[in-house]
Chain A
Amino acid sequence: MIEAPTAAGTQSAAPPVWNAADVRRDFPILHHVDRPVAYLDNAATSQKPDAVIAATTRYYKSANANIHRGVYRLSVEATDAFEAARTKVAAFIGAPDRDELIFTGGCTESINLVAMTWGLENLRKGERIILTQMEHHSNIVPWQLLAQRTGAVIEVVPISAAGELDIGAYQQLLTQKAALVAVTHISNVLGTINPIAVMSKMAHEHGAKILVDGAQSVPHMPVDVKQLGCDFFAFAGHKMCGPTGIGGLWAPRGILEAMPPYQGGGDMISTVEFAGSTWNKIPHKFEAGTPNIAGAIGLGAAVDYLSHLDMRQVAHIEAQLLAYAEKQLQTIPGLRFVGAAADKASVISFTLDGIHPHDIGTILDQEHVAIRTGHHCCQPLMDFYHIPATARASLAFYNTPADIDALVNGLRRVIEVFA
């Protein structure tokens, strides 16, 4: 059996059966645009392979109909394609039951769904919602809205300078009326891979539920929600080669069945009378209205594509690329890495002494290198490091050492301009 590599590549893995050069031709944007770009903003969104673009186009061209309604053949085909996508996506994250996978508009909506259904139903005044210093705004603000409405109190797990969670402090926080832990699997700024399985076990020992923001993990490593042991798992389609506007929420059947509905409308009901309505069974209870059918089908195609590549190989190739990038970037004078966790995914945040990240971003753009600059929707994390912003290069399996070289040469140009 092939041992799964960690994202940091510390374990040995089978040699890759493909390399970035092989897969790049699957991504039209990487070779069809007039001006090829070293695309290093994968944590913001991934590029889309032909297979995904074709699947959404095929749906609109030859199978477009609403789902779960029509008795005619086209509607049945659309329904089948939509539900087949659910089965694939559920399997991809290790969900034991396909009905436990709810399609949402994205990771943000998945988190808001939990806050506004499970959260409103279960949280009491004074109970604690435990977040961490490295959360994305989308895993902070929904909980603030919930806290305002319930009187629950938000606590924050601190991090070390290297960007690792203080598990001792987490343990302490769990002893004080903890009701829910909401934590990112991988930091979109630091690349830190958090020890979710351990954190889930600890949360459960104190009677708390745990929600995991998997936006940055599902695209870059094998994910199995059973192994993670969490109660809610949220993720985004567009960061894992799928279309925008589609994402997922997983939770065990028992939790989902006990939760009140999210939005009301068609498809989520069983019966409707003015005296009162009854709800459809899961997952439909949480999917009111016509969903993003093309998006779900596209995400199903993305999952097929990634499964074919094998997420263990994806993680292995990205770990090699990360090691190369970190080595090359160390040669840039005045470059400081932000985040140095032992277990780290292929996200590299950095600053350059005396040069603002936005100036870095503009100059790199002139050098045909696309990176993200700013606070990355993580203002509390920027405050922790006492910086207004970072420059961030985030890598995907289709990036090559040549992309890294373009980044490094671009950074030398930045320093020249400011010399």
Chain B
Amino acid sequence: MSDLRDLYQQTIIDHTRRPRNFRPMPDADHHARGHNPLCGDRLELYLKLSGDRITEATFTGAGCAISTASASMMTEAVKGRTIAEAQLLFEKFRILLTTPIHENVSLDGLDKLEVFGGVREYPVRVKCATLAWHTLEAALKRDDHEAKTE
């Protein structure tokens, strides 16, 4: 049995209590809503782009510790990255959460996001951690539909 602290690392608790970039952005270039029907978590993501580079990312919403911290840390992580870089980061993040052994895949560049590695032991919580990222994908596609984890 894994230790609870593997899941609820101090960084995650910190981001849950004081989410970064937690505000609406009225002049956002891209915007999408995310919803996890399983637990009712909802978030709204706002992006500003310069060319294909994300210059600002903010969010609002209500969710569990994992989904809130994930959204908070994602907005920090994607700021300054190109769309392609952000997508690659999501791909690595997803592998971190779902693949037990990832020696064949380089997860370099995840940096702080590696604190979510503990989620791997809690399969029902993976969707909490990926909600913000699914919403990011929807926002970048200018998809007006709600991003869902189900």
Which chain A residues have a beta carbon within 8 Å of chain B's beta carbons? 354-359, 362-363, 366, 373-375, 379, 382, 388-389, 413, 417-418
Q: Is the CB of B40 within 8 A of A417?
A: no
Bound: A377/B5 CA distance, A: 31
B34 at the interface (CB under 8 A from A): no
Q: Is the CB of A417 within 8 A of B42?
A: no
Which chain B residues have a beta carbon within 8 Å of chain A's beta carbons? 1, 4-5, 7-8, 13, 16-17, 38-42, 62-66, 68, 122, 125, 128
Q: Is the CB of B13 within 8 A of A418?
A: yes
Bound: A294/B110 CA distance, A: 53
Bound: A362/B39 CA distance, A: 13
Q: Determine which of A358, A413, A417 lies in contact with B125 in the assembled complex, contact meaning CB atoms within 8 Å.
A: A358
Q: Determine which of A354, A388, A413 lies in contact with B40 in the assembled complex, contact meaning CB atoms within 8 Å.
A: A388
Q: Determine which of A375, A379, A389, A418 lies in contact with B65 in the assembled complex, contact meaning CB atoms within 8 Å.
A: A418
Q: Is the CB of B8 within 8 A of A359?
A: yes
Task: Identify the closest chain B residue to A389 (Cβ).
Answer: B40
Tally inter-chain residue pairs, CB-CB below 8 A: 49
The 29 sampled A-B contact pairs (Cβ below 8 Å) are: A354-B17, A355-B65, A356-B64, A356-B65, A356-B68, A357-B39, A358-B39, A358-B64, A358-B125, A358-B128, A359-B65, A359-B66, A362-B7, A362-B122, A363-B4, A363-B8, A366-B4, A374-B38, A374-B39, A375-B39, A375-B40, A379-B40, A382-B40, A388-B39, A388-B42, A389-B40, A413-B4, A417-B5, A417-B8
- Across the A-B interface, give the 6 residue pairs with the lowest CB-CB distance, nearest first: A356-B64, A388-B40, A358-B64, A359-B65, A417-B8, A358-B39
* Chain A residues in 8 Å Cβ range of B8: 359, 363, 417-418
Q: Is the CB of A359 within 8 A of B4?
A: no
Q: Determine which of B5, B63, B125 lies in contact with A362 in the assembled complex, contact meaning CB atoms within 8 Å.
A: B125
Bound: A275/B95 CA distance, A: 61
Bound: A376/B38 CA distance, A: 10
* Chain A residues in 8 Å Cβ range of B5: 417
A365 to chain B, nearest CB (A): 9
* Chain B residues in 8 Å Cβ range of A379: 40
* Chain B residues in 8 Å Cβ range of A363: 4, 8
A82 to chain B, nearest CB (A): 37
Task: Identify the closest chain A residue to B2 (Cβ).
Answer: A366
A390 to chain B, nearest CB (A): 10
* Chain B residues in 8 Å Cβ range of A374: 38-40
Bound: A358/B64 CA distance, A: 6
* Chain B residues in 8 Å Cβ range of A413: 4
Q: Determine which of B1, B62, B122 lies in contact with A388 in the assembled complex, contact meaning CB atoms within 8 Å.
A: B62
Q: Is the CB of A356 within 8 A of B63?
A: yes
* Chain A residues in 8 Å Cβ range of B122: 362
Bound: A231/B1 CA distance, A: 51
Task: Identify the closest chain A residue to B125 (Cβ).
Answer: A362
Bound: A379/B41 CA distance, A: 12
